Each structure stands twice: as C-alpha cells, then as structure tokens.
Amino acid sequence: MNRRKLLMAGSIYTMSLAAPALASAATIGTTNSMSDTAAANPIPPVARVEHKVIHQLGRTRTDDYGWMRDGHWQDVLNDPAKLGADIRTHLEAENAYTQAILLNPTADLRETLVAEMRGRIKEDDETPPAPDGNFAYFRKFREGGQYPIIMRVPIDPITKIPNGPEKIMLDGDAAARGLPFWRLINWEQNESQDFFAYMVDYEGARNCDIRFRIAANGQDLPEKLENTTGELVWAKDNRTCFYVVNDENVRPIKVMRHVVGTDPKTDVMVFHETDAAYFLGLSKSSSGDFVFLVSSASDNNECRYLPLDRPLAAPKLFSRRRAGFEYFPDHHGEHFYFRTNRGGAKDYKIMRTKTSEPALSKWSDYLEYKAGNLINEFILFKNHMARQEMFDALPRIVVRDMASGEEHSIDFAEEAYSLELVGGFEFDTKIVRFIYSSPSTPAETYDYDMQTRERKLLKRQQIPSGHNPSDYVVKRINAEAADGAQVPLTILYKKGTPLDGSAPCHLYGYGSYGIIIDDDFNANILSLVNRGYIHAVAHMRGGMERGYQWYLDGKLRKKQNTFSDYIRCAEVLIEKNYTSATKIVGNGRSAGGLLMGVVANQRPDLFAGIIAGVAFVDMMTTISDATLPLTPPEWTEWGNPITNVEDYDAMAAYSPYDNVATRAYPPIFAQTALSDSQVTYWEPAKWIAKLRATSPNAGPFLLRVNMEAGHGGAPGRFDRLKEVGEYLAFAIWAIGRNTPGPASPPRP
C-alpha cells in the first residue's frame, strides 16, 4: 500500500503541463524562416511532406509527417541533444511561431498571471509530520525554493511529540542545482531507519536512478540503481531491497533484489515479466510483512507475494492472469485481503483467505458486493480497515472495526468535493489521515481517530494573497446524454458572475483508463474564475465516477460516448446560460488531449479555443506499433488495430490525426516534450502540421515543445507556474478574439 501520498503529493493540477524551451528566430533552420520583416506578421512553419500510404487489415491510411519520429527516439528520451537536426529545426520553428503569435503578445498578461498564482502559494510551506516509530517525516519548501526538502524529526513514539532537532534527509534545491531537469519520484526509509533510499528522474522519461543515503551522516553510498521505475520495497533485514527496472523502451519488466553496499551488477532477478501487454510493479503490504509483485493490464492482473522476513525466497503466485479478472492484495494477521471483481463484482468487493491457503479456491467474501458502490482502495491497520469509495459520483471514507465488523462513514456536505485517503507509515495505530478539499475550499489535512471518531485538523492550505471560499459557488449538475446517461458536471464560479450566457468558460475533461477526476481545490484556476470565467469539469464515461460500468461504457468500441458526453456537457453549459457557443475553451491532457483532438474535429463550432497537453492524437499509428512503450498494454483500452478489423474501424472513426479535414477549427494550443515516453513528441507535432496544411484559414495552430522535459512537465514548482500561465493566457487570448473590447473580461 502507498503510505507516502501526503508527503510526496504536490499541487500539480491537470493544467500544470510542460513548459517548452523558447527558440529565437535566429535559431530557426530552413523549415521556415522568420525574418525581421516577418516578425510583425509571423508565417507559420510549413512541414515538409513525405507521403506514406499505410496498408493494414485491408484498410489504407496516409501519413505525410512520419519523418518527425526520430529513428533513435529511445536515445532522445535520455538525451534530447541526440534529436535529428531536421526534426529539431522544425520543432524550434514551431516554438518561435508560438512565441510570436501567443507568448510575446501576452507577455504582460502572463507575468501578471504568474504573480497571481505565486501569491497564492505559501512558499515556506510544509506537510504535517507522519510518524514512523521514533521519527516523523515531512516535506517542506524553503522561501523561493523550487524543489521539496525531505525532513525527519525524532519523536516520542507514544505521544508523537518531537523531542529532538529536525534533520534534512534530502535537499531538493541543492540536489537539482545546475541540472536541466530533476524530479524526486519517491523515497523509502528502511525499518531500522538507518538507510534512506531516494529515487530521482533526471530526464522526465520515467527512468529513475535510486541512491542510498546513510541517515546518520547524510552520505550517499557509491552504488546507483539505474533505469528503474522509482519503486522500492525494503526487506526486514534492513539491507535487502526490491526494485523494478525498465527495458530499452521504458517498459517495467524485471523485479530485482539488491543488497545495500554491493555492486548492482551482482543484483539478482526475482521475476521477469515477458508479456509486453503487462506493466510490472511493486507494493508493500499494510502490515509490512509482504512485498507484492503485480503484473497489470488495463482489465486484468496477476500478483505474486514474497515474505519480507525471507527476502531470498521465491515469489509465489496467488492466481494466474485471465481476461477481465482483477485482484489487489494486502495482508493483515493471518489473512490476505483482496479488492477484487471476482464473481461479477464490477465495482469491487473485498475477499480474504488464510495466508496458509492463498489459492483462489479458498477465497471467501469479507465485504459483500454492492452494485454502484465503487471501492477505490483500502488500507489495513492493526484494528481497523479504512476504505475510500465512490457513490453517486462523490467520494466517501468508510472505517471498519476489524474485530466487530462495525462500520461508519466520514461525511461532508458540499455538492462536490475531493477526499483522499492518505494513511501513514504505521500499522499499529488508530489514526488514519485524509485530505479534504473542494473547488472553493483549500485543502484540509485531518488525522481521524478510527476508534473515537474524532477529527483533528492538522493543516489548512494557506492562500497568502487571500481567499474566501464563501465568495465562490460550487455546483454539481448532470448533463443528460442522448441515451439517457447522467453525466456529472462540476461548476465553479465567483459570486456576481453573470449567468446570462455572457461569461466565458473553461471546460476540462479526461475520461479514460477509469481515472476519476477529483473535484479538488486548484488555486491556479482562480486566475480565470476571478476574471469572470466559469470553470467546469466534465466527468464523462471512460472514468469511474459512476462506477466501473461508467468506465466500460467509455472504452473500446464505446469510446465515442466519452467524446459525446463532453460535447453534451458543453451544450448544457450553453443551454443553462452559464456560457455561450464560441466562449468555451476546452482543455485536456494526454488521453484528455485525445479528447480535445476528437471534439475539435466533431464540434469545432462550440469552442473559442482548444488546449491539448501532451496530446495522444496519432492513436492509429501508435496503437499499431507494438515497439512503443505503452502500446501492448493499451490494446485492452482502445482495441487492437493490428489484428482486429472491427477495432481498427472503430478507432479510425475518431482518431484525431486521421480525421483532420478542412474545417473552421478554433485556435489550438498543443504541447509536447522530447523526453515524454508516454505520449511521444511527434504525435502533437504531426497533428499541428496536418491541421495547418489542411485548414490554412483556420486556427491558428500553435505548438510548444519542451526540449528538456517529459510527460509531467517542468519539475520546479515555480517553473510550473510559467507553464500554467501560458495555458491561462491562451484561454484569455482565445476568448478575447471573439469578444469585443479587452481580451481579459473585467473582474466581477
């Protein structure tokens, strides 16, 4: 179980995307020249055309821009300097064009936006300490610091009161100094707390280095574990650990065993996942007694377990993988517990079996299945179980006494809110930690006594520039789809904002992989809301806001539901006079970028602008290429166009790149990053080139390329504000094109 959520969680909102490096006109090559004369009237880059016809399953499609994929793209992930010169020239031209069209004209606005957002950050902030025996750990930032500092302080193990000086375990600002990219992925202290392992991504490509630090003196040992996922579990001997390594295509494929102080070349492979359709991961039981090796596809998995007091033991299998069967293990006392969909429990139930009888045939129901009551996760403690559920598209936490079976829930009253179960490091405790927020209410961190039911507020997110939740309105409404589905739509606006259709709107959406988009607090979006914008989040099918069936109804050959639901949400916002057509800016990232590409093709008339971050828009090519890191595991999400003609046709019907046509597209702002192994840079680059060539009188079509980062964008917290400032500025700029008078509506 992940007990480090609170310490590692940042305030990275879905809009916090990668900030591409700027290119001056002088650096542009021959793809398209931008002379001083043209600077006042910039000419968009014209990508060369290399016409390629692709034959597949008796179908054909064309790709004019496949040359943008570097033949050595794996090397580029780890060293962007290895990008081919012709591709680099074109991408730099795109950056320069975006600079001229959008960023230069909005420079003052962006500076104002960044200042506003930074003013909402408590720069010397820190998380509440999380106890772990004789110490407590917390994360902090220094004034002006970009990166987290991991701290620990000695405490009384009974009272949890600090009884000694704080100690820096890892100083992110110092570690990142002079490096173009540095992101702390995770860290793990061993049980005796004399060693501290930390995991850092230096490129943004999801390849992490693991180092080991002596806790007493802060010195790093010489060994380094490379090309890892950043996951690590310590054994009980306090010297052995398990970790996962990636292959050359950044697929996690092997669990390795390492002994601190030894040469990593002598590490032993514990398990090798040979099926490219499965990602391999590690988790540690709540009890601390077992490590679980989990091979996962999008609709099934397979788990092995290994006792941490016997790290040399071979892992044992619970139950083999089979289509549609999922189970997620944990351990407590004499039993293994499983969150599983076995027996048709679509929204999951909890089963258990004795540790001496782990075979599937011995499992029995512990919590009976309740349709429509989605169990997201559970954490086990010595005397309690805490689980997070979704019911009627809202979260709740349910606490269960393990001895008596008595249960109670932790309730909240707002129409829409976020509730995150955090846990901690300790198993023998009656305290569970959770974080509550809503679109108008900053995050509140609580320690909850599962026995007495008392809540203790540990921290309320501070907004130094000032924030009054009562100045805002949060609404949850449903948009009824054509087939009757009730699509949740969360709305935030400032009191006094006119609801007569005149307000501009920012509409965010994702809708894939079963991911639930939380209705949490995001200080950055207030820079739009305070300017009179409606901020809305569409919870379309493809997520699991309404349970697992909600996900099934938005994947594979039902994927069009996701796009139609989002379009319907936009229409309902118009029908209810929150906004008007052409006053909506759509925003989505990754698979949400796919959403943006589809709705731009299907309903360009609804939007004043489209923001597509690290956009998965060339899906036919990507999902037809089994060598790409994410492709084989994706076949259960989208379909397999290599072997199945019905899947091919279903995907080809909506694939954004393949459905670009001459249309009145609104302005589109796409973003990508060279070190992105999840959505490769050439997808948005090809898409923008095709949009520009096919609809030269529409747009404009803008591309920002981060020449140094990956899927998660810039790692520094203030650098991220510059990225968000670009997206917010684009939204204001795009709305302003359709609005007489100033580009930015006055504050209400």
As annotated, the active-site residues are: 590, 676, 711
Buried-exposed string 655-684: b where 16+ CB fall within 10 A, e elsewhere = bbbbbbeebebbbbbbbbbbbbbbbbbbbb
Calculate the CA 136 to chain-centre distance.
28
Tokens encoding 615 = 């956009």
**DSSP run (H or E) holding 86:** helix 85-98
Round to whole Å and give the CA distance between 539 and 466.
29
Other Cβ atoms less than 10 A from the Cβ of 64: the count is: 16
Round to whole Å and give the CA distance between 166 and 409.
36
Other Cβ atoms less than 10 A from the Cβ of 406: the count is: 9
Residues facing 459 on adjacent strands:
445
Round to whole Å and give the CA distance between 426 and 431.
9
Task: Please choose, from the candidates 205, 201, 202, 260, the residue with its C-alpha nearest in 3D space to the C-alpha of residue 231.
Answer: 201
Assign residue 193 a region: left if phi > 0, alpha if psi is -120 to 50, beta otherwise? Answer: left
Round to whole Å and give the CA distance between 322 and 217.
49
Residues 6+ apart with CB under 8 A from 369: 343, 344, 345, 347, 348, 349
Q: What is the DSSP string of 220-255?
A: EEEEEEEEEEEEEEE-TTSSEEEEEEE-TTS-EEEE
Cβ atoms of residues 388 and 373 within 8 Å: no
298, HSE (Cβ side, Cα atoms, 13 Å): 21
Round to whole Å and give the CA distance between 152 and 215.
10
Round to whole Å and give the CA distance between 369 and 384.
19
Verify cis geometry, omega within 30 degrees of 0, for the bond prior to 748.
no
First to last CA, the chain: 45
How far, CA to CA in Å, does 13 sit from each of 347, 390, 413, 524? Answer: 27, 21, 24, 8
Cβ atoms of residues 432 and 5 within 8 Å: no
